[in-house]
Structure 1
Amino acid sequence: MPRCLKSVTAALALAAPALVFAQSAAVVGAVVGTVLGAASSASQSTSGTTTATSSTPLSNPDTPIGRATPILKQSLRGEILFGQPPEVTLNGNAARLAPGARIRDLDNRLVLSGNLVGQKYKVNYTVDTLGLLMNVWILKADEAAKLWPTTPTEAATWIWDPVSQTWSKP
């Protein structure tokens, strides 16, 4: 094989991934442009000005509990009163939040415990190996109405239905 053909082959081998990336970026750009163009033309009112379109919610309503991050099966139900972080009162007993504890509000957003001082909520929670609260989900009214175990012994004896994501007593 001639030397110039080897160098051209090597250059093409090095350029091929970049060409594929550029080609896929052009396709994605065309699709995004088409979608954005359709959205802007659909959002124009009769006066010709663009109006804000309704945005899609971040949480998936098709999830069994209606949360983007579902409540874990291992969690327990309780009532929490937030004190000065990391102190909380869980079911009337003093407890502590673990370092790095995640607290999710009604809209499944992470919130800081300092913003909840003095507030009382119905929650589901998990504890770490040291007994500190690691995950806390503040419950909506419909979630709080569902049957959920409050102690580890209840969780061990009740029946979990993974399809409907519900607990039932035996």
Structure 2
Amino acid sequence: MLRCVLGALLGASFIAPAAAQLPRQFPATALRGVFMVVQPPEVQLNGKPARLAPGARIRGAHGMLQMSGSLIGHKLLVHYTIDSSGNLHDVWVLTPAEAARKPWPTTPAEAQHWSFDWGAQHWTKQ
């Protein structure tokens, strides 16, 4: 029994780091911006007031969910999606490698005029 538990823990220690290194896939609806939590659910997006949607998800650069209260006052480069009410629904804090992917649209108008290769996670201006 003890061997089974130790074997499972040892196996998980090899799998977890490999899984953490997989590149994240962002939807074509994700825009790039500067995000700061003011007082949840109130935030700033690109220096303007915005609001987190009920049930909004914020994923840190490590891929784990983060509570909005732990990010108060931190300006972060993110990808985000907006729900039908105009509130932020999904927020991903970018890693340096993700932030280096350029260009990335910052407005819906840019996204409409550019083309997105989901597999490569690359936008092309047209």
TM-score grouping bracket, smaller chain normalisation: 0.7 to 0.9
TM normalised by structure 2 equals: 0.84
| Deviation (angstroms), 1:72 | 1.5
2:47 maps to: 92
Please tell me whether Structure 1 or Structure 2 has the larger radius of gyration of its CA atoms.
1
CA distance in 1, matches of 2:99, 2:81: 16
Which residues of structure 2 form unaligned runs of 5+?
none
2:104 maps to: 148
2:37 maps to: 82
Q: Residues 53 and 81 (structure 1 numbering): CA distance in 2 closer, same or farther, change over 3 Å? A: closer
TM normalised by structure 1 equals: 0.63
Structure with more helix by fraction: 1
Matches within 5 A, 1:1-170: 36=7, 54-56=13-15, 57=17, 58-59=19-20, 61=22, 66-67=23-24, 70-146=25-101, 147-170=103-126
- Larger relative contact order (C-alpha < 8 A, sep ≥ 6)? 2
CA distance in 2, matches of 1:138, 1:118: 14
Q: Residues 168 and 118 (structure 1 numbering): CA distance in 2 closer, same or farther, change over 3 Å? A: same
CA distance in 1, matches of 2:36, 2:115: 29
Structure with more strand by fraction: 2
| Deviation (angstroms), 1:54 | 4.7
CA distance in 2, matches of 1:106, 1:71: 13
Q: Residues 117 and 161 (structure 1 numbering): CA distance in 2 closer, same or farther, change over 3 Å? A: same
| Deviation (angstroms), 1:118 | 0.7
CA distance in 2, matches of 1:160, 1:53: 35
How many residues are aligned here? Answer: 120
CA distance in 2, matches of 1:94, 1:153: 20
